[in-house]
Amino acid sequence: MSTSPNPASKLNLKIWQGQDYVLSLEDEADDTTVWTGGTLRGNIKKAPDTSGAALLSFTGAITGTRTGTVTLTDVQTLTLPVDAQTNCEFNSTCYVYEIEIVYANTKVQPLLYGRIDLFPKVELT
């Protein structure tokens, strides 16, 4: 697979365990990049240099020429473990993620990356 020279943008996210999360993507750059015909994919890992399988792999939908949406369901976010010893901020667990477009010609275009602060699900009784 070839990787596009376009750099990905950095965006840190806050996600609550057990809740849906929707991320709308839009390329606002004034260029000729067209997302149509590509597929959005991404993954979440403990650290950028973590080898092996991702904690969560996901896909998204291309919704326009340069727009797309990624949705993580409540079931998906609930499967991400909260590690009490790896606190990011306010008892959250730190993860990293990346999202990219894969085109039919196997070209890969990095879109977005960053840190995820995963906050534990709170049970109200």
**Euclidean distance between CA atoms 125 and 113, whole angstroms:** 36
pLDDT at residue 91 in the model: 73
The domain spans of the chain are 2-119
Q: Residue 49: which residues within 8 A CB-CB, separation 6 or more?
A: none
pLDDT at residue 84 in the model: 58
pLDDT at residue 2 in the model: 39
**Euclidean distance between CA atoms 56 and 79, whole angstroms:** 8
Question: 2-119, what's its fold?
Answer: Immunoglobulin-like (2.60.40)
**100: number of CA atoms within 13 Å, CB side?**
20
* Ordered per-residue pLDDT tens for the chain, 125 residues: 334 445 789 999 999 999 999 999 988 775 667 888 899 999 999 888 767 779 999 999 999 888 999 999 999 999 998 875 555 666 788 899 999 999 988 899 999 999 999 988 777 76
pLDDT at residue 4 in the model: 44
pLDDT at residue 1 in the model: 36
Query: Under a CB-based contact definition with an 8 Å cutoff, are residues 50 and 56 in contact?
Result: no
